[in-house]
C-alpha cells in the first residue's frame, strides 16, 4: 500500500479538482486568528492551479451540527485564503451549490462548510457522490481530519480510481515526518506530553512508552499523575476516574525501563483569571486552597536538560495555562528547549503550535503538525481512515 502523490495524477489537462483541505482554523468576529493551516495548504493549491482548469477547495469548520450555522461559515477563511495566495477565491455559500460546476477555467473556489450537511460526519455515500459529481479528480491534503471517517475524506476518496486521486504535499509531509518518530526513531527519543486530560491521551501515552527513552509530563494531566503517586493537588483540575490509568502508565514505564518525569515543582494560583495569589511550590506541598497552573522553574530546567541531548522529540500539549501570561513560562521554556535541541523535532496540536509561535521558535522546529487528534492517533499506531481511503 502506498499513498498516491500529486505527481501520480493522470490527465490533468482540463481537470476539475476537488481539494479537501483542513481549513478548520480559529475564527472570531469574522477574523482568522491563526493561519497555520491556511499557509500549510498553499503549496498544493499553487501546484494544482498551475496545472488544472478549476480547483474547488472544501473543508469543515468547527462543530457544525449538520445544518447551516453562520457561526461556522468558511467565508472569512475564503478572504484569508485569497490574501495568502494573492489571487481571487470565489466563495460558494453551499458546498453542493450547482454553481460550483460551472466555474470558469482558472477559477479557485472555496465551498462552504461540509458539516452543514449531516451526510459529512455520517460518511454518507450519497452525500459524497453529490459533492464530488462535478469533479474529475480528488486531492486530499486535510491531514488534520485524517482520523475522521467522514464523507469528504473517506466515501469521496472511494469514488475515484487510481490516477484520479492523490494526497497533497501537506498530507505527504505529515505522514513522512510522523512516520520518522513512529518507525525506528533515533535514540534518545524524548516526548513531552501536556494538556488538560489523561483521558484523551491514554493510547498515545501507551504507544510512546514502547518507543521513547524519556517521557516528560506536564499540564493539567500531571495532576492526575500526582494523585496516582499519592500527592495532594488542592483545587487543581483532575480526572479522578483516570487515576488508575495514570498508575498503569507509571507501572508500564517502570516495567519497560522508560524514564517518566513528573513536575517536581509547580506554579499554583488561587484563580486562573485575576489571581491574587501565585506561588511556586514543590509538587509534594501543593496548598489545599490553590490550583496548579504551570510547571515550576526547577521542572523547566530539568525538562530542558532532558530535551537537550535528544535525537528525536515529540511534543503535544501545553505545560500549563499558557494563554494567561503569568502561567506561560513553563510552556514557553519547553518550546525553547525543543527548538534549541539538535533533535529531529515534531510538534502537534493546536495549543502547542500556538505556543511555539508565541515563543518565536516556529522555524526552528523540524515539523509542525497541522493535526492535533490526527497526529496523536498516527502516533498511537492507528491507521487513519482518510489515509487508508487514498491508498492504492
What single DSSP character describes residue 202? H
Residues ≥6 apart with Cβ < 8 Å to 142: 20, 21, 22, 59, 152, 153, 171, 386
> Is residue 372 a contact residue for ligand 3PG (CB under 6 A)?
yes
**Active-site residue flag, 37:** yes
Give me the least distance between CB of 372 and Mg ion, in Å please. Answer: 6
**Strand residue runs (E) in the chain:** 16-20, 27-28, 31-32, 54-58, 90-92, 108-111, 137-140, 165-167, 189-193, 214-217, 259-261, 265-269, 278-282, 291-295, 312-316, 344-348, 367-368
Do residues 345 and 362 make contact, with C-beta atoms less than 8 angstroms apart?
A: no
Contact between 194 and ligand 3PG (CB under 6 A)?
A: no
**Binder among 17, 22, 205, 356 for ligand 3PG (CB under 6 A):** 22
Question: Could you say whether residue 144 binds ligand 3PG (CB under 6 A)?
Answer: yes
- Does residue number 24 form part of the binding site for ligand 3PG (CB under 6 A)? yes
Contact 34, 86 (CB under 8 A): no
Least Cα distance to 94 among 67, 123, 126 occurs for 67
List the catalytic residue out of 180, 197, 235, 358: 197
Under DSSP, the state recorded for 3 is P
SS3 at position 289? coil
Taking CA 354 as the corner, what is the angle to CA 204 and CA 249, rounded to the nearest 5 degrees? 20
Of 195, 296, 330, 350, which residue is the catalytic one?
350
Contact window for ligand 3PG (CB under 6 A) among 65-73, 104-112, 143-151, 315-323: 143-151
Residue (67 or 276) nearer to ligand 3PG, CB? 67
Q: How far is the CB of 24 from Mg ion (least distance, A)?
A: 8
The item of ligand 3PG, Mg ion, none sharing an interface with residue 73, based on CB under 5 to 8 Å by kind, is none
CA dist 366 and 51 (Å) reads 29
Site string for ligand 3PG, 99-138 (x = CB under 6 A): ----------------------------------------
User: Strands 344-348, 312-316: parallel, antiparallel or unpaired by DSSP?
Assistant: parallel
The residue within the footprint of ligand 3PG, chosen from 113, 140, 145, 331 (CB under 6 A), is 145
377 binds ligand 3PG (CB under 6 A): no
**Choices 9-17, 140-148, 230-238, 255-263 (CB under 6 A): range interacting with ligand 3PG:** 140-148
Q: Which three cell numbers stand for residue 313?
A: 522529540
Site for ligand 3PG in 148-177 (CB under 6 A): 148
Residue 111 CB contacts under 8 Å (≥ 6 apart), including other chains:
56, 57, 58, 59, 74, 92, 94, 95, 97, 100
The residue among 36 and 213 lying less far from ligand 3PG, judged by its C-beta, is: 36
Cα separation, 140 vs 138, in Å, equals: 7
Q: Residues for the chain: how many in total?
A: 392
Would you say 148 or 201 has its CB closer to ligand 3PG?
A: 148
**Per-residue x/- mask for Mg ion, residues 325 to 364, rule CB under 5 A?**
----------------------------------------
Choose which of 119, 219, 263, 373 interacts with ligand 3PG (CB under 6 A): 373
Which C-beta is closer to ligand 3PG: that of 36 or that of 136? 36
Shortest distance in whole angstroms from residue 208 CB to ligand 3PG: 20
Q: Which stretch binds ligand 3PG (CB under 6 A): 91-99, 141-149, 177-185, 205-213?
A: 141-149
Closest CA to 40 of 63, 57, 18, 15: 57
Whether 211 is catalytic: no
320 is catalytic: no
**Distant-in-sequence contacts of 240-245, Cβ < 8 A, 24+ apart:** 241/199, 242/197, 242/198, 242/199, 242/202, 245/198, 245/199, 245/202
Q: Which does 148 bind (CB under 5 to 8 A by kind): ligand 3PG, Mg ion, none?
A: ligand 3PG
Q: Which residues bind ligand 3PG (CB under 6 A)?
A: 22, 24, 63, 144-145, 148, 372-373
Catalytic residues: 37, 197, 350, 373
Amino acid at each position: 500500500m502506498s499513498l498516491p502523490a500529486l505527481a501520480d495524477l493522470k490527465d490533468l489537462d482540463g481537470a476539475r479538482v476537488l481539494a479537501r483541505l483542513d481549513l478548520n482554523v480559529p475564527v472570531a468576529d469574522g477574523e482568522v486568528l491563526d493561519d497555520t493551516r491556511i499557509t500549510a495548504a498553499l503549496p498544493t493549491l499553487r501546484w494544482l492551479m498551475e496545472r488544472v482548469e478549476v480547483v474547488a477547495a472544501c473543508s469543515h469548520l468547527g462543530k457544525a451540527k449538520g445544518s447551516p450555522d453562520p457561526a461556522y461559515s468558511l467565508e472569512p477563511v475564503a478572504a484569508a485564503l485569497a490574501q495568502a495566495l494573492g489571487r481571487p477565491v470565489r466563495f460558494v455559500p453551499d458546498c453542493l451549490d450547482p454553481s460550483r460546476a460551472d466555474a470558469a477555467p482558472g477559477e479557485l473556489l472555496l465551498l462552504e462548510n461540509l458539516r452543514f450537511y449531516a451526510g459529512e460526519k455520517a460518511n454518507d455515500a450519497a452525500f459524497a457522490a453529490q459533492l464530488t459529481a462535478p469533479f474529475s479528480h480528488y486531492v486530499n491534503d486535510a491531514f488534520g481530519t485524517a482520523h475522521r471517517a467522514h464523507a469528504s475524506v473517506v466515501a469521496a476518496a472511494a469514488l475515484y480510481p487510481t490516477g484520479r486521486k492523490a494526497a497533497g504535499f501537506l498530507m505527504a509531509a505529515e505522514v513522512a515526518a510522523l512516520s520518522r518518530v513512529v518507525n525506528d526513531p533515533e535514540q534518545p527519543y524524548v516526548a513531552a506530553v501536556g494538556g488538560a486530560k489523561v483521558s484523551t491521551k491514554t493510547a498515545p501515552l501507551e504507544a510512546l512508552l514502547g518507543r521513547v527513552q524519556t517521557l516528560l509530563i506536564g499540564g493539567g494531566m500531571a495532576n492526575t499523575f500526582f494523585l496516582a503517586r499519592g500527592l495532594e493537588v488542592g483545587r487543581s483540575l483532575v480526572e479522578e476516574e483516570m487515576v488508575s490509568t495514570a498508575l498503569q502508565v507509571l507501572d508500564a514505564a517502570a516495567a519497560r525501563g522508560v524514564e517518566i518525569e513528573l513536575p517536581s515543582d509547580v506554579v499554583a494560583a488561587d484563580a486562573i483569571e485575576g489571581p491574587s495569589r501565585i506561588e511556586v511550590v514543590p509538587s509534594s506541598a501543593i496548598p489545599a486552597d490553590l490550583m496548579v497552573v504551570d510547571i515550576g522553574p526547577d521542572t523547566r530546567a530539568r525538562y530542558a536538560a532532558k530535551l537537550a541531548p535528544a535525537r528525536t522529540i515529540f511534543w503535544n500539549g501545553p505545560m500549563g495555562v499558557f494563554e494567561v501570561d503569568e502561567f506561560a513560562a513553563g510552556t514557553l521554556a519547553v518550546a525553547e528547549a525543543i527548538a534549541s535541541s539538535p533533535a529531529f523535532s515534531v510538534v502537534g496540536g493546536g495549543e502547542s503550535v500556538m505556543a511555539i509561535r508565541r515563543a518565536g521558535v516556529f522555524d526552528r522546529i523540524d515539523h509542525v503538525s497541522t493535526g492535533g487528534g490526527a497526529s496523536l492517533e498516527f502516533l498511537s499506531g492507528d491507521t487513519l481512515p482518510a489515509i487508508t481511503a487514498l491508498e492504492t
